[in-house]
Structure 1
Amino acid sequence: MYNYEGARRSAADEDPGDPMTDSATRDFDQDLKGLLAGMDSRVPKPFPERPGGYPDQVAAALIDAVLSIRARYGKADTGVRAAVTRYKDAVGDQTPNSLSRLADFDAVKLVEVLHNHQMTGAETKASAIVRAARNLSGIGVETAADTDPLDPRQKAVYVNVPGLGAVTWYYFTMLIGAHDVKPDIWVKRFVQLVLETPELDSDDYVRRLVNAAAAELEVDPRVLDHTIWLYMRSREA
Protein backbone atom coordinates (compact mmCIF):
# COMPACT_ATOMS: atom_id res chain seq x y z
CA MET A 1 0.00 0.00 0.00
CA TYR A 2 1.26 3.47 -0.90
CA ASN A 3 2.54 5.38 2.13
CA TYR A 4 0.52 8.59 2.56
CA GLU A 5 3.07 10.34 4.73
CA GLY A 6 5.79 9.46 2.25
CA ALA A 7 3.67 10.92 -0.53
CA ARG A 8 3.48 14.19 1.35
CA ARG A 9 7.09 14.48 2.42
CA SER A 10 9.27 12.80 -0.20
CA ALA A 11 10.30 14.25 -3.54
CA ALA A 12 13.01 11.66 -4.16
CA ASP A 13 11.34 10.38 -7.35
CA GLU A 14 10.19 13.76 -8.59
CA ASP A 15 10.84 14.42 -12.27
CA PRO A 16 13.55 17.08 -12.60
CA GLY A 17 11.66 18.80 -15.41
CA ASP A 18 8.26 18.68 -13.75
CA PRO A 19 6.79 22.19 -13.56
CA MET A 20 6.16 23.07 -9.94
CA THR A 21 5.06 26.67 -10.38
CA ASP A 22 1.42 25.60 -10.30
CA SER A 23 1.71 23.45 -7.16
CA ALA A 24 4.53 24.81 -4.99
CA THR A 25 2.19 27.14 -3.11
CA ARG A 26 -0.80 24.79 -2.94
CA ASP A 27 -2.15 23.25 0.28
CA PHE A 28 -1.71 19.51 -0.24
CA ASP A 29 -4.01 18.50 2.62
CA GLN A 30 -6.77 20.80 1.37
CA ASP A 31 -6.40 19.49 -2.17
CA LEU A 32 -6.54 15.92 -0.88
CA LYS A 33 -9.79 16.64 0.97
CA GLY A 34 -11.21 18.23 -2.15
CA LEU A 35 -10.17 15.28 -4.32
CA LEU A 36 -11.72 12.76 -1.91
CA ALA A 37 -14.95 14.73 -1.77
CA GLY A 38 -15.07 15.05 -5.53
CA MET A 39 -14.50 11.35 -6.00
CA ASP A 40 -17.22 10.51 -3.53
CA SER A 41 -19.76 12.50 -5.55
CA ARG A 42 -18.63 11.33 -8.99
CA VAL A 43 -17.18 7.84 -8.82
CA PRO A 44 -19.48 4.94 -7.85
CA LYS A 45 -18.46 2.35 -5.31
CA PRO A 46 -17.44 -0.38 -5.21
CA PHE A 47 -14.67 0.59 -7.60
CA PRO A 48 -14.52 -1.46 -10.80
CA GLU A 49 -11.92 -4.17 -11.17
CA ARG A 50 -8.83 -3.16 -13.08
CA PRO A 51 -7.18 -5.21 -15.84
CA GLY A 52 -4.64 -7.58 -14.39
CA GLY A 53 -1.56 -6.23 -16.11
CA TYR A 54 1.42 -8.45 -16.89
CA PRO A 55 3.12 -9.66 -13.72
CA ASP A 56 6.32 -11.55 -14.64
CA GLN A 57 5.90 -10.52 -18.31
CA VAL A 58 8.25 -7.59 -18.73
CA ALA A 59 8.23 -7.64 -22.55
CA ALA A 60 4.44 -7.67 -22.71
CA ALA A 61 4.28 -4.79 -20.22
CA LEU A 62 6.75 -2.70 -22.22
CA ILE A 63 4.90 -3.26 -25.49
CA ASP A 64 1.56 -2.40 -23.88
CA ALA A 65 2.90 0.75 -22.20
CA VAL A 66 4.40 2.20 -25.38
CA LEU A 67 1.55 1.23 -27.70
CA SER A 68 -0.94 2.83 -25.27
CA ILE A 69 0.47 6.31 -25.90
CA ARG A 70 -2.34 8.38 -27.42
CA ALA A 71 -4.17 5.23 -28.47
CA ARG A 72 -7.47 3.44 -27.97
CA TYR A 73 -6.78 0.51 -25.69
CA GLY A 74 -9.32 -1.83 -27.27
CA LYS A 75 -10.55 -5.22 -26.10
CA ALA A 76 -8.83 -8.60 -25.91
CA ASP A 77 -8.94 -9.06 -29.68
CA THR A 78 -8.44 -5.44 -30.74
CA GLY A 79 -6.07 -2.53 -30.21
CA VAL A 80 -3.14 -2.70 -27.80
CA ARG A 81 -4.05 -5.99 -26.17
CA ALA A 82 -4.33 -7.73 -29.53
CA ALA A 83 -0.89 -6.39 -30.50
CA VAL A 84 0.61 -7.85 -27.32
CA THR A 85 -1.00 -11.19 -28.16
CA ARG A 86 0.51 -11.08 -31.64
CA TYR A 87 3.97 -10.59 -30.15
CA LYS A 88 3.45 -13.53 -27.82
CA ASP A 89 2.40 -15.72 -30.73
CA ALA A 90 5.35 -14.54 -32.85
CA VAL A 91 7.94 -15.51 -30.22
CA GLY A 92 6.07 -18.63 -29.15
CA ASP A 93 5.87 -17.52 -25.53
CA GLN A 94 2.64 -16.58 -23.77
CA THR A 95 4.50 -15.13 -20.77
CA PRO A 96 7.36 -13.17 -22.41
CA ASN A 97 9.70 -12.10 -19.64
CA SER A 98 12.91 -11.26 -21.51
CA LEU A 99 13.99 -7.76 -22.47
CA SER A 100 17.13 -8.95 -24.24
CA ARG A 101 15.00 -10.98 -26.67
CA LEU A 102 12.84 -7.94 -27.33
CA ALA A 103 15.96 -5.78 -27.68
CA ASP A 104 17.25 -8.10 -30.43
CA PHE A 105 14.01 -7.79 -32.39
CA ASP A 106 14.27 -5.91 -35.67
CA ALA A 107 12.16 -2.75 -35.30
CA VAL A 108 10.77 -2.96 -38.84
CA LYS A 109 9.76 -6.57 -38.30
CA LEU A 110 8.18 -5.65 -34.97
CA VAL A 111 5.98 -3.11 -36.76
CA GLU A 112 4.67 -5.96 -38.90
CA VAL A 113 4.23 -8.32 -35.97
CA LEU A 114 2.31 -5.76 -33.92
CA HIS A 115 0.35 -4.46 -36.93
CA ASN A 116 1.12 -1.00 -35.61
CA HIS A 117 2.62 1.85 -37.65
CA GLN A 118 1.92 4.58 -35.09
CA MET A 119 4.62 7.06 -34.17
CA THR A 120 5.86 8.47 -30.90
CA GLY A 121 8.40 11.22 -31.10
CA ALA A 122 10.02 10.95 -34.53
CA GLU A 123 10.00 7.14 -34.81
CA THR A 124 7.60 4.24 -34.76
CA LYS A 125 6.35 2.96 -31.46
CA ALA A 126 7.91 -0.39 -32.36
CA SER A 127 11.30 1.30 -32.68
CA ALA A 128 10.81 3.02 -29.31
CA ILE A 129 9.97 -0.35 -27.76
CA VAL A 130 13.15 -1.92 -29.09
CA ARG A 131 15.27 1.06 -27.99
CA ALA A 132 13.79 0.99 -24.47
CA ALA A 133 14.38 -2.77 -24.24
CA ARG A 134 18.01 -2.28 -25.33
CA ASN A 135 18.58 0.55 -22.87
CA LEU A 136 17.14 -1.37 -19.94
CA SER A 137 18.77 -4.70 -20.78
CA GLY A 138 22.03 -2.79 -21.25
CA ILE A 139 22.06 -1.94 -17.53
CA GLY A 140 21.09 -5.43 -16.43
CA VAL A 141 17.30 -5.28 -16.48
CA GLU A 142 16.27 -8.60 -18.05
CA THR A 143 13.06 -9.71 -16.35
CA ALA A 144 10.17 -8.19 -14.42
CA ALA A 145 11.96 -9.09 -11.19
CA ASP A 146 14.90 -6.89 -12.22
CA THR A 147 12.68 -3.85 -12.75
CA ASP A 148 12.74 -1.31 -9.93
CA PRO A 149 10.21 1.54 -10.27
CA LEU A 150 12.24 3.66 -7.83
CA ASP A 151 15.61 3.18 -9.51
CA PRO A 152 16.50 6.55 -11.06
CA ARG A 153 18.98 4.93 -13.44
CA GLN A 154 16.35 2.59 -14.89
CA LYS A 155 13.89 5.44 -15.27
CA ALA A 156 16.57 7.63 -16.88
CA VAL A 157 17.50 5.14 -19.60
CA TYR A 158 13.81 4.59 -20.33
CA VAL A 159 12.88 8.27 -20.71
CA ASN A 160 16.06 8.80 -22.74
CA VAL A 161 14.25 7.12 -25.65
CA PRO A 162 12.70 9.79 -27.92
CA GLY A 163 8.92 9.77 -27.54
CA LEU A 164 8.89 8.09 -24.12
CA GLY A 165 8.47 9.91 -20.85
CA ALA A 166 7.83 9.54 -17.15
CA VAL A 167 4.11 8.81 -17.56
CA THR A 168 4.74 5.69 -19.64
CA TRP A 169 7.53 4.66 -17.23
CA TYR A 170 5.02 4.70 -14.39
CA TYR A 171 2.50 2.80 -16.52
CA PHE A 172 5.11 0.22 -17.56
CA THR A 173 6.04 -0.50 -13.95
CA MET A 174 2.37 -0.55 -12.91
CA LEU A 175 1.65 -3.21 -15.53
CA ILE A 176 4.40 -5.33 -13.97
CA GLY A 177 3.04 -4.81 -10.47
CA ALA A 178 4.07 -1.45 -9.01
CA HIS A 179 1.40 0.13 -6.79
CA ASP A 180 1.35 3.57 -8.36
CA VAL A 181 -0.57 6.07 -10.49
CA LYS A 182 0.29 7.32 -13.96
CA PRO A 183 -0.40 11.08 -14.16
CA ASP A 184 -1.62 10.98 -17.75
CA ILE A 185 -3.98 13.47 -19.37
CA TRP A 186 -7.10 11.73 -18.04
CA VAL A 187 -5.92 11.65 -14.42
CA LYS A 188 -4.75 15.27 -14.58
CA ARG A 189 -8.02 16.42 -16.13
CA PHE A 190 -9.96 14.63 -13.39
CA VAL A 191 -7.97 16.38 -10.67
CA GLN A 192 -8.38 19.71 -12.47
CA LEU A 193 -12.13 19.10 -12.78
CA VAL A 194 -12.66 18.10 -9.15
CA LEU A 195 -10.49 20.86 -7.70
CA GLU A 196 -11.73 23.40 -10.26
CA THR A 197 -8.11 24.26 -10.96
CA PRO A 198 -7.44 24.19 -14.71
CA GLU A 199 -3.92 25.54 -14.27
CA LEU A 200 -2.79 22.59 -12.11
CA ASP A 201 -0.64 20.61 -14.52
CA SER A 202 2.22 19.23 -12.43
CA ASP A 203 2.62 15.50 -13.11
CA ASP A 204 4.42 14.88 -9.83
CA TYR A 205 1.89 16.75 -7.72
CA VAL A 206 -1.09 15.02 -9.33
CA ARG A 207 0.58 11.62 -8.95
CA ARG A 208 1.32 12.18 -5.26
CA LEU A 209 -2.20 13.51 -4.69
CA VAL A 210 -3.98 10.53 -6.26
CA ASN A 211 -1.65 8.07 -4.54
CA ALA A 212 -2.46 9.74 -1.22
CA ALA A 213 -6.19 9.52 -2.00
CA ALA A 214 -5.79 5.79 -2.65
CA ALA A 215 -4.08 5.40 0.72
CA GLU A 216 -6.92 7.25 2.45
CA LEU A 217 -9.48 5.04 0.69
CA GLU A 218 -7.40 1.92 1.39
CA VAL A 219 -7.44 0.80 -2.22
CA ASP A 220 -4.67 -0.14 -4.62
CA PRO A 221 -3.60 3.08 -6.41
CA ARG A 222 -3.89 1.19 -9.70
CA VAL A 223 -7.58 0.61 -8.99
CA LEU A 224 -8.11 4.32 -8.43
CA ASP A 225 -6.13 5.15 -11.56
CA HIS A 226 -8.31 2.79 -13.63
CA THR A 227 -11.52 4.10 -12.04
CA ILE A 228 -10.61 7.69 -12.91
CA TRP A 229 -9.68 6.64 -16.44
CA LEU A 230 -13.06 4.97 -16.94
CA TYR A 231 -14.92 7.98 -15.57
CA MET A 232 -13.11 10.48 -17.77
CA ARG A 233 -13.41 8.35 -20.90
CA SER A 234 -17.17 8.01 -20.27
CA ARG A 235 -17.42 11.82 -20.24
CA GLU A 236 -15.76 11.95 -23.64
CA ALA A 237 -18.00 9.28 -25.18
Structure 2
Amino acid sequence: MEKFSWTPTSARGPACLKPPRQSSHSHIPAAKPCNPEHLVYNYEGAAELRPTTTPGDLMTDTAAQDFHRDLKSLLDGLDSRLPNPFPEWPGGHPDQVEAALIDAVLSIRARYGKADTGVRAAVSRYKDAIGDQAPNSLSRLADFDAVKLAEVLHNHQMTGAETKAAAIVQAARTLSGIGVETAADTDPQDPSHRAAYLNVPGLGPVTWSYFTMLIGAHDVKPDTWVKRFVKLALESPELDTDEYVRRLVNAAAAELDVDPRVLDHAIWLYMRSR
Protein backbone atom coordinates (compact mmCIF):
# COMPACT_ATOMS: atom_id res chain seq x y z
CA MET A 1 0.00 0.00 0.00
CA GLU A 2 1.28 3.43 -0.90
CA LYS A 3 2.26 5.72 1.98
CA PHE A 4 0.19 8.89 2.13
CA SER A 5 1.12 12.26 3.58
CA TRP A 6 -0.84 15.45 4.05
CA THR A 7 -0.45 18.36 1.69
CA PRO A 8 -1.20 21.88 2.94
CA THR A 9 -4.53 23.35 1.90
CA SER A 10 -6.84 26.13 2.98
CA ALA A 11 -9.93 24.20 1.91
CA ARG A 12 -12.63 22.89 4.24
CA GLY A 13 -10.85 19.60 4.78
CA PRO A 14 -7.80 17.69 3.62
CA ALA A 15 -6.77 17.17 0.04
CA CYS A 16 -7.84 13.94 -1.68
CA LEU A 17 -5.63 11.28 -3.12
CA LYS A 18 -8.51 9.13 -4.34
CA PRO A 19 -12.13 9.70 -5.47
CA PRO A 20 -14.39 11.12 -2.73
CA ARG A 21 -16.67 8.76 -0.85
CA GLN A 22 -20.37 9.51 -1.25
CA SER A 23 -22.44 9.44 1.92
CA SER A 24 -26.13 9.79 2.67
CA HIS A 25 -25.13 12.40 5.25
CA SER A 26 -23.57 14.81 2.79
CA HIS A 27 -24.36 16.01 -0.70
CA ILE A 28 -20.96 17.67 -0.87
CA PRO A 29 -18.02 15.67 -2.25
CA ALA A 30 -16.25 14.42 0.83
CA ALA A 31 -12.77 15.48 1.85
CA LYS A 32 -10.37 12.56 1.93
CA PRO A 33 -7.87 12.30 4.80
CA CYS A 34 -4.64 10.68 3.69
CA ASN A 35 -2.56 10.61 6.86
CA PRO A 36 -4.84 11.07 9.89
CA GLU A 37 -1.95 11.73 12.26
CA HIS A 38 -1.67 15.27 10.89
CA LEU A 39 -5.33 16.37 11.08
CA VAL A 40 -5.90 19.32 13.43
CA TYR A 41 -9.07 21.39 13.51
CA ASN A 42 -8.83 25.09 14.24
CA TYR A 43 -11.35 27.43 15.84
CA GLU A 44 -12.80 28.40 12.45
CA GLY A 45 -13.66 24.79 11.66
CA ALA A 46 -11.17 24.23 8.87
CA ALA A 47 -8.91 21.21 8.93
CA GLU A 48 -5.38 22.47 9.29
CA LEU A 49 -3.12 20.08 7.41
CA ARG A 50 0.41 19.87 8.66
CA PRO A 51 2.81 18.79 5.87
CA THR A 52 4.98 15.77 6.48
CA THR A 53 8.61 16.79 6.87
CA THR A 54 10.41 13.52 7.54
CA PRO A 55 9.89 9.86 6.59
CA GLY A 56 9.27 9.10 10.26
CA ASP A 57 6.11 11.19 10.15
CA LEU A 58 4.49 8.78 7.70
CA MET A 59 2.24 5.95 8.84
CA THR A 60 3.56 2.49 8.11
CA ASP A 61 1.90 0.52 5.34
CA THR A 62 0.20 -1.75 7.86
CA ALA A 63 -0.92 1.07 10.14
CA ALA A 64 -2.36 3.07 7.24
CA GLN A 65 -4.15 0.01 5.91
CA ASP A 66 -5.62 -0.77 9.33
CA PHE A 67 -6.69 2.83 9.81
CA HIS A 68 -8.49 3.08 6.48
CA ARG A 69 -10.16 -0.29 7.09
CA ASP A 70 -11.41 0.98 10.46
CA LEU A 71 -12.45 4.30 8.92
CA LYS A 72 -14.57 2.51 6.32
CA SER A 73 -16.24 0.43 9.05
CA LEU A 74 -16.92 3.54 11.10
CA LEU A 75 -18.42 5.38 8.13
CA ASP A 76 -20.65 2.39 7.37
CA GLY A 77 -21.76 2.38 11.02
CA LEU A 78 -22.54 6.09 10.93
CA ASP A 79 -24.58 5.72 7.74
CA SER A 80 -26.62 2.82 9.10
CA ARG A 81 -27.21 4.05 12.66
CA LEU A 82 -27.30 7.84 12.87
CA PRO A 83 -30.14 10.08 11.65
CA ASN A 84 -29.84 12.12 8.49
CA PRO A 85 -29.22 15.00 8.86
CA PHE A 86 -27.23 14.91 12.07
CA PRO A 87 -28.70 16.78 15.08
CA GLU A 88 -27.26 20.24 15.62
CA TRP A 89 -24.34 20.79 17.99
CA PRO A 90 -25.74 22.84 20.92
CA GLY A 91 -23.01 25.43 20.47
CA GLY A 92 -20.90 25.31 23.62
CA HIS A 93 -19.73 28.51 25.30
CA PRO A 94 -17.73 30.56 22.77
CA ASP A 95 -15.82 33.41 24.43
CA GLN A 96 -16.99 32.18 27.85
CA VAL A 97 -14.03 30.35 29.33
CA GLU A 98 -15.48 30.19 32.86
CA ALA A 99 -18.73 28.64 31.68
CA ALA A 100 -16.82 26.16 29.49
CA LEU A 101 -14.56 25.03 32.34
CA ILE A 102 -17.49 24.58 34.73
CA ASP A 103 -19.47 22.70 32.08
CA ALA A 104 -16.57 20.38 31.17
CA VAL A 105 -15.75 19.39 34.74
CA LEU A 106 -19.35 19.02 35.94
CA SER A 107 -20.08 16.78 32.92
CA ILE A 108 -17.76 14.07 34.25
CA ARG A 109 -19.95 11.01 34.86
CA ALA A 110 -23.07 13.20 35.07
CA ARG A 111 -26.36 13.82 33.30
CA TYR A 112 -26.11 16.91 31.16
CA GLY A 113 -29.76 17.87 31.69
CA LYS A 114 -31.94 20.51 30.09
CA ALA A 115 -31.83 24.28 30.47
CA ASP A 116 -33.17 24.12 34.04
CA THR A 117 -31.57 20.86 35.20
CA GLY A 118 -28.19 19.20 35.53
CA VAL A 119 -25.00 20.76 34.22
CA ARG A 120 -26.70 23.44 32.14
CA ALA A 121 -28.63 24.69 35.16
CA ALA A 122 -25.43 24.80 37.25
CA VAL A 123 -23.72 26.96 34.62
CA SER A 124 -26.73 29.29 34.60
CA ARG A 125 -26.62 29.59 38.39
CA TYR A 126 -22.97 30.58 38.24
CA LYS A 127 -23.68 33.28 35.67
CA ASP A 128 -26.51 34.65 37.77
CA ALA A 129 -24.38 34.60 40.93
CA ILE A 130 -21.59 36.71 39.41
CA GLY A 131 -23.94 38.92 37.40
CA ASP A 132 -22.28 38.15 34.07
CA GLN A 133 -23.96 36.14 31.30
CA ALA A 134 -20.74 35.85 29.29
CA PRO A 135 -18.09 35.01 31.92
CA ASN A 136 -14.65 35.02 30.33
CA SER A 137 -12.06 35.46 33.10
CA LEU A 138 -10.26 32.49 34.62
CA SER A 139 -8.66 34.68 37.29
CA ARG A 140 -12.15 35.53 38.58
CA LEU A 141 -13.05 31.85 38.77
CA ALA A 142 -9.68 31.11 40.37
CA ASP A 143 -10.51 33.54 43.19
CA PHE A 144 -13.58 31.54 44.19
CA ASP A 145 -13.58 29.51 47.37
CA ALA A 146 -14.23 25.91 46.35
CA VAL A 147 -16.86 25.35 49.05
CA LYS A 148 -18.68 28.52 48.04
CA LEU A 149 -18.55 27.54 44.37
CA ALA A 150 -20.07 24.14 45.18
CA GLU A 151 -22.92 25.93 46.93
CA VAL A 152 -23.47 28.28 43.98
CA LEU A 153 -23.49 25.36 41.53
CA HIS A 154 -25.62 23.16 43.82
CA ASN A 155 -23.08 20.45 43.10
CA HIS A 156 -21.04 18.48 45.62
CA GLN A 157 -20.06 15.61 43.35
CA MET A 158 -16.53 14.23 43.40
CA THR A 159 -13.94 13.66 40.71
CA GLY A 160 -11.05 11.67 42.06
CA ALA A 161 -10.49 12.65 45.69
CA GLU A 162 -11.69 16.26 45.22
CA THR A 163 -15.06 17.87 44.68
CA LYS A 164 -15.71 18.96 41.14
CA ALA A 165 -15.92 22.53 42.40
CA ALA A 166 -12.42 22.24 43.87
CA ALA A 167 -11.11 20.81 40.60
CA ILE A 168 -12.68 23.72 38.68
CA VAL A 169 -11.05 26.30 40.94
CA GLN A 170 -7.67 24.55 40.81
CA ALA A 171 -7.80 24.29 37.01
CA ALA A 172 -8.66 27.98 36.76
CA ARG A 173 -5.70 28.80 39.01
CA THR A 174 -3.18 26.66 37.13
CA LEU A 175 -4.28 27.96 33.73
CA SER A 176 -4.43 31.61 34.77
CA GLY A 177 -1.07 31.12 36.44
CA ILE A 178 0.54 30.50 33.04
CA GLY A 179 -1.21 33.42 31.39
CA VAL A 180 -4.41 31.78 30.15
CA GLU A 181 -7.08 34.31 31.11
CA THR A 182 -9.77 34.14 28.41
CA ALA A 183 -11.13 31.74 25.83
CA ALA A 184 -8.97 33.43 23.19
CA ASP A 185 -5.85 32.72 25.27
CA THR A 186 -6.57 28.99 25.40
CA ASP A 187 -4.66 26.97 22.81
CA PRO A 188 -5.67 23.30 22.51
CA GLN A 189 -2.36 22.55 20.77
CA ASP A 190 -0.14 24.19 23.41
CA PRO A 191 1.42 21.43 25.56
CA SER A 192 1.80 23.78 28.54
CA HIS A 193 -1.92 24.60 28.52
CA ARG A 194 -2.87 20.94 28.32
CA ALA A 195 -0.37 19.99 31.02
CA ALA A 196 -1.67 22.70 33.37
CA TYR A 197 -5.15 21.25 33.06
CA LEU A 198 -4.10 17.60 33.33
CA ASN A 199 -2.02 18.30 36.43
CA VAL A 200 -5.24 18.89 38.36
CA PRO A 201 -6.26 15.68 40.21
CA GLY A 202 -9.47 14.24 38.81
CA LEU A 203 -9.17 15.87 35.37
CA GLY A 204 -8.02 14.08 32.24
CA PRO A 205 -7.52 14.35 28.49
CA VAL A 206 -11.18 13.69 27.62
CA THR A 207 -12.44 16.66 29.60
CA TRP A 208 -9.56 18.78 28.26
CA SER A 209 -10.81 18.01 24.75
CA TYR A 210 -14.38 18.80 25.78
CA PHE A 211 -13.34 22.07 27.48
CA THR A 212 -11.58 23.28 24.33
CA MET A 213 -14.49 22.15 22.15
CA LEU A 214 -16.86 24.22 24.26
CA ILE A 215 -14.86 27.38 23.65
CA GLY A 216 -14.48 26.78 19.94
CA ALA A 217 -12.01 24.03 19.03
CA HIS A 218 -13.36 21.73 16.31
CA ASP A 219 -12.45 18.34 17.72
CA VAL A 220 -13.83 15.12 19.19
CA LYS A 221 -13.77 13.94 22.80
CA PRO A 222 -13.11 10.18 23.03
CA ASP A 223 -15.41 9.64 26.00
CA THR A 224 -17.20 6.45 27.01
CA TRP A 225 -20.09 6.93 24.57
CA VAL A 226 -17.92 7.73 21.55
CA LYS A 227 -15.61 4.78 22.26
CA ARG A 228 -18.58 2.43 22.66
CA PHE A 229 -19.97 3.55 19.31
CA VAL A 230 -16.64 3.03 17.56
CA LYS A 231 -16.33 -0.43 19.10
CA LEU A 232 -19.86 -1.19 17.90
CA ALA A 233 -19.16 0.03 14.36
CA LEU A 234 -15.83 -1.79 14.14
CA GLU A 235 -17.27 -4.92 15.82
CA SER A 236 -14.20 -4.91 18.02
CA PRO A 237 -14.16 -5.35 21.81
CA GLU A 238 -10.84 -3.51 22.04
CA LEU A 239 -9.47 -0.27 20.60
CA ASP A 240 -5.87 0.88 20.48
CA THR A 241 -6.08 4.14 22.45
CA ASP A 242 -8.34 7.10 23.11
CA GLU A 243 -6.16 9.08 20.72
CA TYR A 244 -6.79 6.53 17.98
CA VAL A 245 -10.53 6.92 18.49
CA ARG A 246 -10.20 10.71 18.37
CA ARG A 247 -8.24 10.60 15.11
CA LEU A 248 -10.64 8.06 13.61
CA VAL A 249 -13.79 10.09 14.36
CA ASN A 250 -12.09 13.31 13.23
CA ALA A 251 -11.21 11.58 9.95
CA ALA A 252 -14.83 10.43 9.56
CA ALA A 253 -16.02 14.01 10.10
CA ALA A 254 -13.63 15.18 7.37
CA GLU A 255 -14.95 12.45 5.06
CA LEU A 256 -18.53 13.61 5.65
CA ASP A 257 -17.57 17.30 5.53
CA VAL A 258 -19.15 18.02 8.90
CA ASP A 259 -17.91 19.79 12.00
CA PRO A 260 -16.36 17.10 14.25
CA ARG A 261 -18.37 18.46 17.18
CA VAL A 262 -21.60 17.81 15.26
CA LEU A 263 -20.55 14.21 14.69
CA ASP A 264 -19.41 13.82 18.31
CA HIS A 265 -22.79 15.13 19.51
CA ALA A 266 -24.76 12.89 17.15
CA ILE A 267 -22.87 9.82 18.36
CA TRP A 268 -23.39 10.86 21.99
CA LEU A 269 -27.16 11.28 21.50
CA TYR A 270 -27.46 7.94 19.73
CA MET A 271 -25.58 6.01 22.40
CA ARG A 272 -27.39 7.69 25.29
CA SER A 273 -30.76 6.74 23.76
CA ARG A 274 -30.00 3.04 23.24
- TM-score, normalised to structure 2's length? 0.79
**Is 1:220 paired with 2:249?**
no
Task: Please tell me whether the aligned partners of residues 13 and 257 of structure 2 are also in contact (alpha carbons under 8 angstroms).
Answer: no
1:7 to 33, 36, 40: 36
Number of aligned residue pairs: 225
The answer (yes or no) to whether the contact 1:97–1:143 under 8 Å persists in 2 is yes
RMSD: 1.8
Q: For 1:28, give the aligned amino acid.
A: F
4+ long deviations beyond 4 Å: 9-12, 23-26
Deviation at 1:26, TM superposition (A): 7.2
- Residue 81 of structure 2 aligns with which residue? 42
Please give the residue correspondences for 1:34-113 in structure 2 after superposition, counting only pairs within 5 Å.
Answer: 34-113=73-152
Q: Could you say which residue in structure 2 is the equivalent of 1:137?
A: 176
Which AA in structure 2 matches 1:234? Answer: S
Indicate the residue corresponding to 2:237 in structure 1.
198
Which residue pairs with 1:211 in the alignment?
Answer: 250
- Partners of 1:2 and 1:212 within 8 A in 2: no
Shift of 1:44: 1.4
Q: Which structure has the higher relative contact order (CA within 8 Å, separation 6+)?
A: 1
Identity %: 79
1:181 matched to 2:220 = yes
Contact 1:2 1:211 in 2 (8 A): no
Equivalent residue, structure 2, for 1:17: none
The aligned residue for residue 200 of structure 2 is 161
Gapped regions of structure 1 (runs ≥ 5): 13-22
Q: Give CA deviations for 1:33-91 in whole Å, capped at 9, x if unaligned.
A: 11001110111110011111100000000000000000000000000000000000111
Normalising by structure 1, we get a TM-score of 0.91
Q: Show CA shifts across 1:67-122 (max 9, x none).
A: 00000000000000000000001111000000000000000000000000000010
Query: Within the alignment, does 1:147 sit opposite 2:186 as a pair?
Result: yes
Looking at structure 2, the residues matched to 144 and 138 of structure 1 have their Cα atoms a distance apart, in angstroms, of 15
Cα distance, 1:2 vs. partner? 5.8
Q: Which of 1 and 2 has greater Rg?
A: 2
2:164 counterpart (108, 125, 133): 125
CA distance in 2, matches of 1:2, 1:122: 41
Q: Distance in 2 between matches of 1:45 and 1:163?
A: 37
Structure 2 stretches lacking a partner, 5+ long: 1-11, 15-32, 41-49, 51-61
Structure 1 residue 159: Cα displacement:
0.6
Cα distance in structure 1, aligned partners of 2:65 and 2:173 = 40
- CA separation in 2, counterparts of 1:26 and 1:160? 36
Question: Aligned pair in 2 of structure 1 residues 232, 130: CA closer, same or farther (>3 Å)?
Answer: same
Give the match for residue 172 of structure 1. 211
Paired letter, 1:233: R
CA deviations over 1:150-194 (Å, ceiling 9, x no partner)? 111100010100000000000000000100000000000000001
CA contact (8 A) 1:2 1:221 kept: no
Secondary structure of 1:61's aligned partner:
helix
Between Structure 1 and Structure 2, which shows a larger proportion of helix residues? Answer: 1
Conserved 8 A contact 2:35-2:64: no
